Structure 1
Amino acid sequence: MSDTNTMTAQKTAGAPTTVVSAKPVVVPAPGRGEDLQVRVSAPATGGELPVIVFSHGFGWSMNGYAPLADSWAAHGFVVIQPTHLDSRTLALPAEDPRTPRIWRFRIEDLKRVLDGLDILEASVPGLAGRLDRSRIAVAGHSWGAQTASTLLGARILDSDGIPGEDLSDPRVKAGVLLALTGLGDDLTPFAAENFPFMKPSFATMTMPALIVAGDNDQSHLSTRGPDWFTDPYTYSPRSKSLLTLFGAEHSLGGIPGYEVAETTDESPARVALVQQLTTAFLRSALYSEDTSWQAAATALEEDPNPLGKLQTK
């Protein structure tokens, strides 16, 4: 990357800028049952923009997670949000033959987004020619984090504990995994019966990632406590960081949306910290010269009243 590009990246990472957004953008999806609907948000100005493909949690859609999407786009990223088949906006019945394979369709949705960048770039007025396709990250919350993790190298174990297909994508250079569920050894009977895909292996999740967990996130899917959500950090290779948020539950202070009923631990300050640290992590992961992450980590460590703690390996 040239010095000019570095300066552009660092400048873009500064003060928030005007954001433009387009939805729904339709990406053809043969074999899916219906085409993929996507939202694209981007800074109104600037070039060589890095990309974040975001996978929503169960039931959500491209319209969710505005606190993250708005912030990332305002700080220089093109944010692409597909609507997966489990979205409440699609109302897919439980008996739909696609239901058992939704977890695979979700992964395919993210790959379709990457395959369809030309369509998505052309969907936002003035965006054409401004994407940096060498700097792509994935992010996700809850089920979306599991979806995103597979593109970073995580794999699903079969009933015999054998890792399944490698679904990683070389176009993806880094990730942010928010409230990502842990190993499948401690699932509740309900989860074990209904969600057989919740048996991940992080041993091959080699790409750089920031994992964000709440130390008060008690899942009904696991017999363990909140430490379950730290498994992706504990059992993955190096180039990982773990942000543990004090007092945070599954919504991590309210990242799914503004004033959302599902948020049980509303905290604008906590959301602001997630915005700040995820932005800094991705900038430094995608731009080797960028020092945003080091500065953000130091600031958190020196905070007399920190909202969380960081670990890195």
Structure 2
Amino acid sequence: MTESTHDPLSPPTPVLSVSPVVLPAPGRSVDLQVRVSAPVTGSGLPIILLSHGQGYSNHLSSLNGYAPLVNFWAAHGFVVIQPTHLSSTTLSLSPDDPEAPLYWRSRAQDMTRILDRLDDIEAAVPQLLGRLDRSRVAVAGHSMGGHTASLLLGARLTDPHDGTVVNLAEPRIKAGVLLAAPGRGGDAVTDFVAENYAFFVSTDFSAMSTPALVVAGDKDTSTHLTVRGAEWHTDPYFLSPGPKTLLTLFDAEHGLGGVSGYDVAETTDENPERVAAVQRLTWAYLRTELYPGDSAWPSTRDALTAGPHPLGHVESK
């Protein structure tokens, strides 16, 4: 990474974004389409795999969502790869598929497929050739994408169709960011979730050992999913082994200020300052986690959570 990318307040590097890059996917309902965003300069670039959420907007749940995060991360030295998961409303797949509508297993498998096919991605985006650092890979996900990221970081669940315990942990992923991610199952989820999304019921974070930053809004009650209120979204921190860090954003709802897109209708807590904080803090956490000894995380954390009007609270274990 070039020196100018080491500070989240440094001038952004111009970003190259290419889509769709189509990866053949035998056995998948459709081939896997991804967007690849990267700084136009620099080498030895670390990788972030970004898993989209759901929501009612048609295109946020695809490779076309999450531009506020993608553009910032790429402008500050990461290559960001965004798949369109089978759960995307842009695909209009048959509702009769046993994994429909959320495709929890396929979502995680998409990320492993991307890592298996980095040579193909480089060939499709020749400006990237030889510029990736494949030893430094992170995963990030918002909402349902946070569930996907949790599985890749080591969380387990019991397949409601056959009763097997599913382990989709991806050892090539060295760190993660969970944004407004779902919490535990059992009596924490609503009756609707238990009946319609049974895979949520058995979520188990006890083996999620990969380092991760859990980002939760203290007003993100998600009443359609949980009976526990906003604290449900902190479960991935409290119920998993360390090392983990929890960032609680004050007054933030499920959109965390608007991370899923620019000026999108489903952001109930539109707040550019909050989005800027999420951009910087997630970038800084991954920068320090992937480059041990880098000061990006402690300096950015202190700048954004100190003072008389902090944007949030950070704790670690």
Whether TM exceeds 0.5 here: the answer is: yes
Contact 2:87 2:101 in 1 (8 A): no
Instruction: Report the AA paired with residue 33 of structure 1.
Output: S
Instruction: Report the AA paired with residue 118 of structure 2.
Output: L
Instruction: Report the AA paired with residue 11 of structure 1.
Output: S
Contact 1:22 1:123 in 2 (8 A): no
- Where 2:123 maps in the other structure, the secondary structure is helix
* CA RMSD in angstroms, aligned pairs only: 1.7
Contact 1:61 1:89 in 2 (8 A): yes
Cα gap change, 1:286 to 1:9, in 2 (>3 Å): farther
Contact 2:139 2:149 in 1 (8 A): yes
Q: Give runs of aligned pairs for residues 156-305 of structure 1, distance below 5 A.
A: 156-157=157-158, 164-185=165-186, 186-198=188-200, 199-219=202-222, 220-305=224-309
Distance across 2 between alignment mates of 1:97 and 1:157: 15
Instruction: Report the AA paired with residue 29 of structure 1.
Output: A
Cα gap change, 1:71 to 1:167, in 2 (>3 Å): same
TM-score (norm 2): 0.92
Equivalent position to 1:51, from 47, 53, 56: 47
Cα deviation code 1:200-257 (max 9, x no counterpart): 1111111110000000011111111100111111101111000111111111000000
Contact 1:155 1:163 in 2 (8 A): no
Instruction: Report the AA paired with residue 206 of structure 2.
Output: A
Contact 2:305 2:312 in 1 (8 A): no
Cα gap change, 1:74 to 1:100, in 2 (>3 Å): closer
Structure 2 gap ranges (5+) = 56-60
Equivalent residue number for residue 105 of structure 2: 104
Contact 2:159 2:166 in 1 (8 A): no
Contact 2:158 2:166 in 1 (8 A): no
Contact 2:288 2:295 in 1 (8 A): yes
Distance across 1 between alignment mates of 2:164 and 2:218: 29
Instruction: Report the AA paired with residue 284 of structure 1.
Output: T
Structure 1 gap ranges (5+) = 1-7
Structure 1 window deviating more from structure 2 (8-17 vs 171-180): it is 8-17
TM-score (norm 1): 0.93
Equivalent residue number for residue 96 of structure 2: 95
Distance across 2 between alignment mates of 1:244 and 1:163: 34
Residue 4 (structure 2) pairs with residue 11 (structure 1): yes
Cα gap change, 1:10 to 1:286, in 2 (>3 Å): farther
Cα deviation code 1:6-46 (max 9, x no counterpart): xx455322321010010000011110121000000000000
